[in-house]
Amino acid sequence: MTDPVARHERAKRLFLDLCDLPLAQRAERLAALRDEDPDLVDEVGMLLGFHDAEAKESDVKSSIELAPGTVLDDRYRVVARLGRGGMGDVYRVDDLVLGEPAALKFLRPDLADSGHLRREVRVARQVTHPNVCRVFDVGEVDGRPYLTMEWVDGEDLASLLQRIGRLPTDRGVALARQLAAGLAAAHARGVLHRDLKPANILIDPDGRAKIADFGIAEGAAGADPLTLGAGTPAYMAPELLEGGAPSPATDLYALGLVLYESCTGQYPFEALGRRELARAHRVQKPAPPSAHVDELDPRLERWILRCLEKDPEDRPASALLVAASLPGGGDALDLAAAVGATPSPELVAAAGGGGRLDRRPAIGLGLTTLVLTLATLLLAPGARRLDDAGLDQPPEVMAARAGDLLAELGWDLEAGDRAWGYLENPAALTWMQDGAEPPASNAPGASSILFWYRQSPVALIASDLENLVFGRGQVGPWDPPVTAAGSALLLMHPAGWLDHLEVRPDDSTGPAIAPEVVLAAAGLDPERLVKRPTDFVPDTFSDARAAWRGTTPQRPELQLEATVASAEGRPVAFRLRPAPSVDPEAQDAASADDLGETDDGVEHDATDVLWSVIEETEEWFDLLAIVALFVALPLARENLRLGRGDRRGARRLAALLAGASFVEWLMSGPHFRDVSAEWATFHERLGQALVEAAFVWIFYLAVEPAVRRRLPHVLIAWTRLIRGRPRDPLVGRGLAVGATFGAGWALVEQVDLLLPRWLGLDHWPLSVASLQLDFALDTGRLAGTVVLLGSNAVYDAVFSLLILALLLAVTRRPWLAAIGYTALFTALYSLQGAAPEVSWATVGLIVAATESFLLLRFGLLAFAAAAFSFSLLRYLPLTTDLDAWYAGAGFLGVALTLALGAAGLATASFPGSRPATTGTRARTTSTL
């Protein structure tokens, strides 16, 4: 080579490359180049000689010489020098105070004032694990700081490999498991080792590996500037060699290199010099370890190669996952607890075993679900009394009858839009406050359930804010208000008799209708009525008003009052209610001028009327939800900032609920012919779906990391499901167990409604019968209801888990949190029961206690399945009358509950189910 500049540059590059190589490899490389350019080899050899002399002199100057027997700080007696490393000298000493051996490490003089040694002690003392060498204290001798650490009577892994070549297969697996567990313990404390290599791994006489020398370790607060770029190039990840930041993934890469070398006796890359080594790490794909060792365990080989992936995202999510997935790793969650780590979602999904059910327990669980569901079905007619309400005519027939009634009463109104449904009759409920039997269903004015019908010349669009949010925007009897000219509202007895009428006259004219015609339409006999004065003032103009009081042949003891208001001879208002003299106290509660107005003078929609008897209870639940939200918000924000939350699971959960909310609207409506109204409703429901998704996203991110750390088994089946493993046996077991508990809760509620009657207690019967009927009005509404109940079950499960986690954060003990959860929800649920005397024990204590048990024992997925099964049996109308028009909806609820349990058992029991695996690629919300 004639160009001196080019020759100098080549000599410089070769010299720098050879500086990082062992002496044997330097000689081999130089010998290969001698025939090509002997002068270049001589020049580089001279430079290397000067370099080695300087390094040796520097080592001598930087070392500290302590003779055996020297006593330091009146405590440590030197036994022997153990070795000299890049950061300083290490001696074996005897601790004269404790009478135990220890290792004492001095730092190089150039690092003595850097605070590095103190930092190493602070970092290393955070980690306590059998596979990590303990660091005890820090001191100083003649201006030289030192640290004391655990003495390991053995040798380092580098010396062991140099002596025996490679480890036997079983010892390689054990070493891999121990090193991964030690790294997991360090990472759990936010500590990165950054220089994991065979020389920093000690093997004690029992063959146990201990990770030592946290000299350049990095804590959670960040790296010491002194150690930036430090490490051993041969064991550095590609991103570190290119100037990247250290991370748990870089430690895992070093782990893969150490394990490869330990199990095969070979370094995985072929390179000479740092520059070639960096390129090899970046582009070379290591040969499988089995290419060198035939009997290598395939699971160990798989994890070694995964640790050596070039892209950090393709490496295992954590060292804990590696340790738990290796042969003999034991239960992943137990291992996480042992190292003090929070298991990743991937590790949670991999834990818990297969979950397969044997045939006998599966049959027992299935039979239990079947018995509980059938018992709920058989008790439902007596508890809900749907079959006693005389609901013989389907809603379409009742709607046609309502139109005929309007015509009979002189009103020929344009029906641009119509709506109908069912509601509870609060006037009839007042007769049951003393525990008396409900009025006969064939008596006018005495049905506990009324059919309502509305028609209007313009589109009926709900406007009440509460109804839009909680009533899903469905039109009710008073939402929107009956104000448009030409609109009408009728409430009818199931037999077709008129119970309530409101008409807003338009410009049309019609024949005058005698009041007796209106009374006859209500099923009343004028001969049994006495006319009385009235102060009734309807909401619309009227020029004549009249009232009657009397009884009916069907119920002669029941005094009724009928009031008619007319305008130009046609009735514009009619109401039928219990006469005030029957029960003055009860009359005060039902004395509003019309059925849609309470004693506070404010109109309410059908939902408000239905739930008026439990309004205070709902406010307590709303208050609890608001408090939980304000607690969850900062928790979710902090978890996001620290990267602790399962963002992938939260996104999938939020997307699921948002999609379910939107699908429910598509199926059940309301929908309009008017494009503007439909477009506006689309925006409103889309916004509502996004808000609901945001709520559950916040709740999940707030609670999931804490539960994953303290109660990870609660999330195993749930995590497997949301990560795309619906056929996993543990998922099936959760669904099957949930179906059983849900059917049990439904049965308990039926007993709660019947028990006061069996015991002869006075009670105000609570019923959701009219709401059940609304869900069964048509196929679209029914399908949308099933979707809605499913999404609500998931929300309830996450919300209940949040409450349990908050209680756990306060009590610090799962059993105390369960007691607190049971006490809280016993108080809330008992307010919803039929009678306080018994409801505290039925829908209160029994349900609340089993909820907490289900969450802690079987997990979040089982709770969601239980909430869904319970809702199906509660909100769909159950009947044993096969001829009832609503029977199909009720049997659908029964069928879905049994199908959920059967599908779960099939998944958990039959060979077609696939057990959990751990070799997948990993990146790293109960009210009655």
What CA–CA distance (Å, rounded) separates 855 from 414? Answer: 55
* For residue 361, cis peptide bond before it (omega within 30 degrees of 0): no
Instruction: Choose among 785, 767, 787, 789: nearest CA to 775.
Output: 785
What CA–CA distance (Å, rounded) separates 678 from 686? Answer: 12
Instruction: Report yes or no: 111 and 117 within 8 Å, Cβ to Cβ.
Output: yes
The DSSP annotation for 314-363 comes to GS-S-HHHHHHHSTT---HHHHHHHHT----HHHHHH-S---PPPHHHHH
- Residue 336: both structure tokens together: 């996480």
Residue whose pair of structure tokens reads 């010489």 in the numeric block: 65
What CA–CA distance (Å, rounded) separates 453 from 490? Answer: 5
What CA–CA distance (Å, rounded) separates 44 from 615? Answer: 90
Calculate the CA 885 to chain-centre distance.
Answer: 38
Q: Which residues pair with 90 in a beta bridge?
A: 83, 105
What CA–CA distance (Å, rounded) separates 784 from 806? Answer: 33
What CA–CA distance (Å, rounded) separates 889 from 879? Answer: 9
What CA–CA distance (Å, rounded) separates 512 from 252? Answer: 91
The DSSP annotation for 841-862 comes to IIIIIIHHHHHHHHHHHH-HHH
Instruction: Report yes or no: 889 and 776 within 8 Å, Cβ to Cβ.
Output: yes
What CA–CA distance (Å, rounded) separates 325 from 173? Answer: 11
What CA–CA distance (Å, rounded) separates 550 from 826? Answer: 45
Q: Which residues pair with 498 in a beta bridge?
A: 492
What CA–CA distance (Å, rounded) separates 336 from 321? Answer: 9
Residue whose pair of structure tokens reads 């109960």 in the numeric block: 926
Compute CA distances 140 → 103, 108, 143, 216, 883, whole Å.
15, 13, 6, 20, 93
Residue whose pair of structure tokens reads 């759990």 in the numeric block: 188
What single-letter amino acid sits at 299? R
169: burial class by Cβ within 10 Å (0-12, 13-18, 19+)?
A: middle
Residue whose pair of structure tokens reads 């779960």 in the numeric block: 904
Active site residues: 195
What CA–CA distance (Å, rounded) separates 521 from 566? Answer: 15
- Residue 416: both structure tokens together: 């641009």
The alpha-carbon radius of gyration of the chain (Å, integer) is 39
Indicate if the alpha-carbon torsion angle 195, 197, 203, 207 is positive or negative. Answer: positive
Buried b (16+ CB within 10 A) or exposed e, 619-641: eebeebbeebeebbeebbeebee
Instruction: Choose among 631, 650, 644, 635: nearest CA to 705.
Output: 644
- Residue 277: both structure tokens together: 């080594």
What CA–CA distance (Å, rounded) separates 166 from 262? Answer: 5
What CA–CA distance (Å, rounded) separates 545 from 533? Answer: 9
- Provide the 3-class DSSP secondary structure of residue 832: coil
Half-sphere exposure of 372 (CA within 13 A, CB side): 26
First to last CA, the chain: 89
What would the 3-class secondary structure string for 79-109 be?
EEEEEEECCEEEEEEEECCCCEEEEEEEECH
- Residue 253: both structure tokens together: 């890469």
